[in-house]
Structure 1
C-alpha cells in the first residue's frame, strides 16, 4: 500500500500523548497504522467506514 499521512515525525520526551486523525479525504477501507517508540514498533489495522 501507499503511505497516506504522517501524523507525528519527531522525538518527544516520555509522557502521554494524543494524536487526532482525520480520515475525511480517504476512502472507506482497511488501513494499517504504525507506532514506533524506542525499540518498540506496533502495526495495527484500522477499518474506516463512511
Structure 2
C-alpha cells in the first residue's frame, strides 16, 4: 500500500544531474497519479534521439539513467509527457 502523504501533488520534471555530463546522467520526475509516461531525448533541431520511457508508471518519484555513449557531443533536450502535462529541459553532453 502506498502512503498518499508522500505522493507528489503535481507533475514535475527535474534538471538532469550532472549537467554537463559524459556519458551518463540521471533524470528525475514526479507524477501525482498512475499514468502513461513518455520521456524522450531530442537534438537541437527536434529529431528524436532516444525514447527513455514509453509505458505506464505509478504515482510517485521516479529516476532514470541516460547513457549517451553512442551519441555525439552537443546540446540536447529531454521531454516528459504525461497526459496534458509536457515539460522540456536542456542537457549538455561533453565528451
Normalising by structure 1, we get a TM-score of 0.86
Question: Structure 1: 5+ residue runs without aligned partners?
Answer: none
Aligned-residue CA RMSD (Å): 1.1
Tell me, what secondary structure is at the counterpart of 1:20?
strand
- Asked which structure has the greater CA Rg, the reply is 2
* Count of residues in Structure 1 that have an aligned counterpart in Structure 2: 50
Mapping 1:2-41, distance limit 5 Å: 2-41=47-86
CA distance in 1, matches of 2:63, 2:83: 18
CA distance in 1, matches of 2:92, 2:49: 14
| C-alpha distance after superposition, 1:3-47 (max 9, x if no partner) | 111011011110111111000000000101101223321011111
> Is residue 44 of structure 1 aligned with residue 89 of structure 2?
yes
CA distance in 2, matches of 1:19, 1:30: 19
Tell me, what secondary structure is at the counterpart of 1:19?
strand
